[in-house]
Amino acid sequence: MSTAVLPYTVEPHPVTGVYSGKLGIWLFLASEVMLFGGLFSAYVFLRVGAEAAGSPAAWPTHEETHLSWVIGGINTLVLIVSSVTMVMAWASLKMNDFAKGKMYLWLTAALATTFLVVKLAFEYWPKFQHGLVPAKNNFFGIYFTLTGLHGLHVFGGIVVILYFILPGSKLWHRDKEYYANRIECTGLYWHFVDLVWIFLFPVLYLL
Amino acid sequence: MSGHDHGSGRGGHHDHEHDLHHELGFWRKYVFSIDHKVIGIQYAVSALVFLFFGFCLMMIMRWQLAYPGQPVPIIGRFLSDAVAIDGVLRPEFYNALGAMHGTIMVFLGVVPLLVGGFGNYVMPLQIGAPDMAFPKLNMLSYWSFFVGCVVMVAGFFVPGGAANSGWTSYAPLSVIATTGQTMWLLGMVFLITSSLLGSVNFIVTIIQLRVKGLTMFRLPFFVWAQFVTSFLLLLAFPPLEAAAVLQLMDRLAGTSFFMPSGLVVSGVPQDFVGGGNPLLWQHLFWFLAHPEVYVLILPAMGIVAEIITNNTRRPLWGYTTMVYSLVFLGFMSFIVWAHHMFITGMGTQISAFFATTTMIISIPSVIILTCLIITLYNGYIRFNVPMLFALAFLPMFAIGGLTGLPLGLPASDIHLHDTYYVIGHFHYVVAPGTIFAIFAGIYYWYPKVTGRMMNPALGKIHFVLSFIFINTVFMPMFFQGLAGESRRLYDPTVYEHGVQMIGMRKMSSWGAWMLGLSQLPFILNFFMSIWAGKRVTNDNPWEATTIEWLAPSPPPHGNFAKVPTAHRGPYEYSVPGVKTDYFPQFAGAEA
Amino acid sequence: MAGSHADISKHVRSYMAVFAALAVLTIVTVAVAQFHFSDVGNVVVALIIAGFKATLVASIFMHLKWEKSISIWWSLGLCGIFFLALLFLPVLTANDHPPQVHMGTWDVTHQVAKSGGH
Amino acid sequence: MKRLGRQIRRAGGRASLNKVGMGLRWAALVACVFLFADAPSAMGQAAAPQTEGIKIDGHYGPYLPTDASKDGYRADQLIDVVHWFMIALFVGWGIFFTYCLVKFRARPGHRANPEHIKAKPSKYLEIGVAIFEAVLLLGWSIPIWASVKNDVPPPNDPHAVRIRVVAEQFAWNFHYPGPDGKFGKTAVERINTATNPLGIDRNDPDGKDDIVSGELRLPVNKTIVCEILSKDVIHSFFLPVMRVKQDAIPGMRIPVWFTPVKTGTYEVACAQLCGNNHYSMKAIMYIQNQTDYDAWILEKCKPPEEFDG
């Protein structure tokens, strides 16, 4: 708990106006933007330079991708709702309602799990069964890389949220504001994961 | 700044915190420590070990270059048949040595030493902070680095040996390479993660934890250098992580991100579906690797600026200009990367763009160098060991920087690209440049870390020998490069220019081995001084002005007995009306 | 930023509004994609809608609308510039070829003919 | 010593084994050419001719090597100018630096003067450097680069000699269109390491007289256009005496051009790490007069009708 003696872990810095954790998570998100930026750059680069239709290496048409906008759309809505529950969890904690906050966190974790289950059971699994594997062509390569990396981020989010629901919730009883801050940081991360999906959905499913 | 004191913390936890200090066992105190100073030492020692290891790899390569086809003396007999035949290196082992030398020196040696070591140890002290903003993250960063190192070095023991496609790992060669390349990529993922955690921590610490009165423009130049460097690491590294993931997919999942259609290797058409582009790897790689060059040089400039002002007893000339130059340098370093790719079939417009940004980025470097040299003017120059290394940095970095010019101009780059000229150029920047700054920093902050001085006589011997031999190693490379000798050649005597340049190569090689021997006084000094060094009589042996010299030597957990306050700029030397010739930042007005 | 309960409850109302907007925009994205304007047109429309959604999430859910920290804004600004450089400079480079540079190693790719049946 | 080296080269992986095999085939080919003048399958060899022990013309190092091309002087001039500039700047700095070290060294009776120096000269120096760099860029580099990239003779230029250079681990294949000046169509499916390393369609009239050679023979005083290709990994086509270097990027065809003005025997180097035996990826370039060159072309493309591939 050595962190506790450091200044501005909980209270905002009077000049910069933020507590350290929040600044830290924003910087981390900036690096995440560049990580996904590298992959989006690869997507644009490969798609612009793709071979002409007819070659097996050509960019597949919309029909050839066999990606269902219905499943993708449902998952988009699931993530959006989870973002709302996440921000509601923070708001409830800020209004000193721990039970409600915890309930919203459970909801967020459940929605995130739904997202992953839908992704794996209704998208990845049938794709693999039909031989639509990453090696099929560069569209599937980048599709699996992008959604896989995004899925890992969702999974990481679930782990963090469960940590704060279960063992991490002890912090609430020691320092309410500290706990609320940590949920805010988790929320920032979670909204970012949602935000990435907001771009992934049209780019992969609709264009 | 308000009256938030570091000591006040969060009431109730303070006592609890105090108890914990006494309970820390060996593991928590020295191995899984969250104290920035212990982590800094862990980083520095690991990095020094890797620098030495990387240097050894190079000394083996130098034998093959000077005496191609002859068995390596002494160690040759210990090399297995997989890497050498009767002591003569195999070409694949030579290539692995080259790739791993580059990777180890850059990612396992210099960056962890400058940022992880010096940055971690010195920066929080210089801003008067009790620790980094996220101590646990700091520990995680080190251990992620450690895992990365283990994975990277484990590459030597997998079938086919370590990665042998160059430190740049250009696809498609790296995609069809042996298992060592997979280890390289996995290692990089861990190292990048470590860097990201570290850089977030650094930026937050510098923004949030400066003591009262220490405004941004009162920061020591070293802290500024760390600040800009952290932004480079934060924003430039992730694209390489993305590229590493893509290359792993190419290698393991059979995708063809970097594999165009119609590849025929050894007469066998490849299974890849194709449609990829090898240049995509180069873009993503150099998007990191060019800022990486500045990650290697900026903290070194920071160290040199600290030591030069301290030993000229004058304020840093043009502090503000230097800070702006530094920030501009950092910014521009993101948009020059494709000057590494001029001869990949690039057109006229985009090459003009990248050549122009490259010329522009040389201006702030010239400004910083000029400011450092002008600082000497009207000074009172003390030639102690750290100062000798810092002074040597200036002409060495000048050579390294200037020889970048013909490489940055596309027309002259045609002949010089991928020759020894390039090797000479960047080694002048990072070896007699950065490594000398590292030595300077070690000699300078050693008394703060251990409470004892290093032996100056041994230090001077170390300096003179290193200075002579490091130039013996790298100066010939410019002539080899101009003659047309390519880099990464197992046996350059295959070519006529290689035959003509054999004398130059022998000179380089003997220089390298002598340089290796010249490090013995340093190694001796480094370890002996821990026990036998002269004890410092006060906490500020160099009579310096920055806040780290207020802390006890060595500083305890929590660093400062009383929270310091900064009263003035970082380099108030020889101020008229002050008794001593230095006026520390932390000293009250009455001093 | 949000300190009192009143502030927070005001926030909660805006969260619900944003949620509604995001849900509607998702449906709009899908609906619009069923029309074919032009290759570029569809991309532009999809990215505009996605950008709008992203702005909503970032400004309301991530509280950027109320964010006063200059450090965060600077970091995001730099990140945005380098993101654009990373996204566009490689493609621009790949498309600025000198004359007579062609893609493809072989004159005839039989795979083209074969691929009809797959 | 040499034997050891060769032993290692042989041990260097499948591609090098391949190369040894090719060497044998080359020996057989030489025998065929001399003993049975119209032996079949004489063409289309991925020839790996002897490159050791050939006397190379020209002067090499410690500065730039011989320039055997018409336009190489332009880049050389730039390299000269840049180096003079570098030396001037370095010496200038060095003098000031040394002066400071001596004049302001710590000694009894000397004190530092903290007064801020108004260093106008440094500002002029920085502006001077900036202007000079702009001159280098606009006056030399950009125009030279534009000429190197844009002045490629068009495909139908009758005065230019056009060949394809196909790189592979670890050999150079030089593909000549033959007397008709047209390249036969290449395809992966037709590749045969023994008879047809570039997959040329020998039934196509354009491809019947194509020549694939392991040595680069070019006429002097003609503009040469080389289309650089790669079969496998990235290589780099480097002609030190012509001041030509171009990466061979798989999946791309990139032209380079130059005009040899000195006859002689020179080297073709690979300048990009391309695998274990990268170092041995050398070919010999013979710059010949037009008569000798024409004779060589004629001899190489003899009996197309007997080809049975």
Structure tokens at A142: 């980048």
Query: What mean pLDDT value characterizes chain B?
Result: 92
Residue B455: band (very low, low, confident or very high) from pLDDT cuts 50, 70, 90: very high
pLDDT along chain D (309 residues), means of 10: 43 39 43 37 47 89 93 95 95 95 94 82 87 94 94 92 95 93 91 89 89 95 96 96 96 96 96 94 96 93 54
pLDDT score recorded for residue B590: 57
For residue B128, give Cα distances in angstroms to B37, B132, D121.
Answer: 13, 11, 38
pLDDT over 90 percentage in chain B: 88
Spell out which residues of chain D touch residue B352, defining contact as CB-CB under 8 Å.
142, 145
Q: How far apart are CA B529 and CA B550, in angstroms?
A: 22
By the 8 A CB rule, do B473 and B517 touch?
no
Q: φ, ψ for residue A39 (rounded to 5)?
A: -75, -40
Query: Does the beta-carbon distance from B378 to D278 stay under 8 Å?
Result: no
Structure tokens at B469: 């031999």
* Residue of chain A nearest B211, judged by CA positions: A7
Q: φ, ψ for residue D160 (rounded to 5)?
A: -100, 145
Collapse the DSSP code of D233 into the 3-class scheme (helix H, G, I; strand E, B; otherwise coil) and give the result: coil
D10 shares its domain with D53: yes
Statement: residue B9 has pLDDT above 90: no
Residues 106-135 of B with CB under 8 A from D: none
Those chains having 3 or more beta-carbon pairs within 8 angstroms of chain D are B, C
Residue B77: band (very low, low, confident or very high) from pLDDT cuts 50, 70, 90: confident
By the 8 A CB rule, do A165 and A102 touch?
yes
pLDDT < 70: residue spans in chain A: 1-4
Shortest CA distance to A101 belongs to which of C12, C20, C62, C2?
C12
pLDDT score recorded for residue A166: 92
Query: Does the beta-carbon distance from B484 to D60 stay under 8 Å?
Result: yes
Per-residue model confidence as pLDDT tens digits over B198-236 = 999 999 999 999 999 999 999 999 999 999 999 999 999
D272 shares its domain with D186: yes
Collapse the DSSP code of D266 into the 3-class scheme (helix H, G, I; strand E, B; otherwise coil) and give the result: strand
Shortest CA distance to B347 belongs to which of B336, B338, B359?
B338
pLDDT score recorded for residue D12: 40
Closest CB to C103 among D150, D189, D251 = D251
Statement: residue B457 has pLDDT above 90: yes
By the 8 A CB rule, do D243 and D67 touch?
yes
Q: How far apart are CA B57 and CA B53, in angstroms?
A: 6
Residue B30: band (very low, low, confident or very high) from pLDDT cuts 50, 70, 90: confident
Q: Which residue has the tokens 């459940």?
A: A110
- What type of residue is B76? G
Q: φ, ψ for residue B306 (rounded to 5)?
A: -55, -50
- What type of residue is A29? L
The whole-model pTM stands at 0.92
Spell out which residues of chain D touch residue B378, defining contact as CB-CB under 8 Å.
104, 112-115, 117
Residues in chain C: 118
By the 8 A CB rule, do D246 and D228 touch?
yes
pLDDT score recorded for residue B14: 40
Per-residue model confidence as pLDDT tens digits over A35-75 = 999 999 999 999 999 988 888 889 998 888 889 999 999 99
pLDDT score recorded for residue D19: 40
Those chains having 3 or more beta-carbon pairs within 8 angstroms of chain C are A, B, D
Q: How far apart are CA A40 and CA A31, in angstroms?
A: 14
Closest CB to A34 among B9, B130, B235 = B235
What fold is seen in the domain B37-258+276-550? Cytochrome C Oxidase; Chain A (1.20.210)
Statement: residue B68 has pLDDT above 50: yes
By the 8 A CB rule, do B158 and B179 touch?
yes
In a domain, D67, yes or no: no
Q: How far apart are CA A162 and CA A169, in angstroms?
A: 10
pLDDT score recorded for residue B449: 96
Spell out which residues of chain B touch residue A31, defining contact as CB-CB under 8 Å.
196, 199-200, 234-235, 237-238
D81 shares its domain with D220: no
pLDDT score recorded for residue D18: 41
By the 8 A CB rule, do D198 and D172 touch?
no
> Do β-strands D216-219 and D283-288 pair in parallel, antiparallel, or remain unpaired?
parallel
Domain harbouring D205, CATH code = 2.60.40.420
Shortest CA distance to B403 belongs to which of B474, B333, B506, B330?
B474
The nearest CA of chain D is from the CA of B292 a distance in Å of 22
What's the sign of the alpha-carbon dihedral C65, C70, C76, C80? positive
Q: How far apart are CA D28 and CA D32, in angstroms?
A: 6
CB of D153 within 8 Å of a chain C CB? The answer is: no
Per-residue model confidence as pLDDT tens digits over B503-522 = 999 999 999 999 999 999 99
D277 shares its domain with D180: yes
Total domains in the fold of chain D = 2
In a domain, A172, yes or no: yes
User: Bridge partners of D217?
Assistant: D286
Q: How many CB pairs under 8 A join B and C?
A: 53
Strands (E), chain D: 160-168, 171-176, 211-213, 216-219, 223-230, 235-239, 244-248, 252-258, 264-270, 283-288
Spell out which residues of chain B touch residue A147, defining contact as CB-CB under 8 Å.
none
Closest CB to A91 among C11, C18, C19 = C11
By the 8 A CB rule, do B155 and A41 touch?
no
Domain boundaries, chain C: 1-66, 68-97
Structure tokens at B299: 């903290």
Q: Which domain range does residue D10 map to?
A: 2-61+157-306
Q: Which domain range does residue A150 map to?
A: 18-50+68-206
Q: What is the DSSP string of B232-283?
A: HHHHHHHHHHHHHHHHHIIIII---SS--TT-EETTEE--------HHHHHH
Query: Does the beta-carbon distance from C86 to B262 stay under 8 Å?
Result: no
Q: Which residue has the tokens 């920066």?
A: B123
Query: Does the beta-carbon distance from A48 to C94 stay under 8 Å?
Result: yes
Q: How far apart are CA B111 and CA B134, in angstroms?
A: 20
Q: What is the DSSP string of C64-79?
A: GGG---HHHHHHHHHH
Q: How far apart are the first and last CA of chain C?
A: 59
Q: How far apart are CA D252 and CA A110, in angstroms?
A: 49
Domain boundaries, chain B: 37-258+276-550
In a domain, D66, yes or no: no
* Span B256-274, average pLDDT: 91
Burial class (CB in 10 A: 0-12, 13-18, 19+), A152: exposed
Query: What mean pLDDT value characterizes chain C?
Result: 85
The nearest CA of chain A is from the CA of C75 a distance in Å of 7
Q: How far apart are CA A31 and CA B236, in angstroms?
A: 8
D146 shares its domain with D173: no
Number of C-beta neighbours around residue B24 at 10 A: 14
* SS3 of chain D: helix, strand, coil, percent, to 5: 40, 20, 40
Total domains in the fold of chain A = 1
Q: What is the DSSP string of chain A?
A: -GGGGSTTSSSPPTTT-S-HHHHHHHHHHHHHHHHHHHHHHHHHHHHHTPPPTTSTTSPPPHHHHT--HHHHHHHHHHHHHHHHHHHHHHHHHHTT-HHHHHHHHHHHHHHHHHHHHIIIIIIIHHHHHTT--TTS-HHHHHHHHHHHHHHHHHHHHHHHHHHHHTGGGHHHHH-HHHHHHHHHHHHHHHHHHHHHHHHHIIIIII-
Q: How far apart are CA B165 and CA B172, in angstroms?
A: 10
Number of C-beta neighbours around residue A171 at 10 A: 16
Collapse the DSSP code of B460 into the 3-class scheme (helix H, G, I; strand E, B; otherwise coil) and give the result: helix
Per-residue model confidence as pLDDT tens digits over B281-295 = 999 999 999 999 999
Q: How far apart are CA B291 and CA B286, in angstroms?
A: 8
CB of A17 within 8 Å of a chain B CB? The answer is: no
D132 shares its domain with D9: no
Residue C113: band (very low, low, confident or very high) from pLDDT cuts 50, 70, 90: very low
Statement: residue B395 has pLDDT above 80: yes
Which of A41, A92, A96 is the best substitution to test chain C (most C C-beta atoms within 10 A)?
A: A41
By the 8 A CB rule, do B256 and B274 touch?
yes
Q: How far apart are CA D116 and CA C76, in angstroms?
A: 37
Structure tokens at D19: 């190369």
D54 shares its domain with D188: yes
Q: How far apart are CA A205 and CA A192, in angstroms?
A: 20
Q: φ, ψ for residue A166 (rounded to 5)?
A: -95, -95
User: Bridge partners of D223?
Assistant: D160
Per-residue model confidence as pLDDT tens digits over B136-155 = 999 999 999 999 999 999 99
Spell out which residues of chain A touch residue B34, defining contact as CB-CB under 8 Å.
2
Domain harbouring A201, CATH code = 1.20.120.80
pLDDT over 70 percentage in chain C: 88
Q: Among D150, D169, D201, which residue terminates a domain?
A: D150
Closest CB to D96 among B170, B373, B409 = B373
By the 8 A CB rule, do B313 and D112 touch?
yes
D7 shares its domain with D146: no
Say which residues have a Cβ less than 8 Å from residue B106's Cβ, sequence separation at least 6: B167, B292, B296, B430
In a domain, A8, yes or no: no
DSSP letter, residue B484: T
Statement: residue B378 has pLDDT above 80: yes
Spell out which residues of chain B touch residue C111, defining contact as CB-CB under 8 Å.
261
Per-residue model confidence as pLDDT tens digits over B413-430 = 999 999 999 999 999 999
By the 8 A CB rule, do B99 and B167 touch?
yes
Q: How far apart are CA D283 and CA D218, in angstroms?
A: 13
Per-residue model confidence as pLDDT tens digits over B462-476 = 999 999 999 999 999
The nearest CA of chain D is from the CA of C97 a distance in Å of 9
Reply yes or no: is the peptide bond before residue D170 cis, omega within 30 of 0. yes
Query: Does the beta-carbon distance from B283 to C93 stay under 8 Å?
Result: yes
D27 shares its domain with D122: no
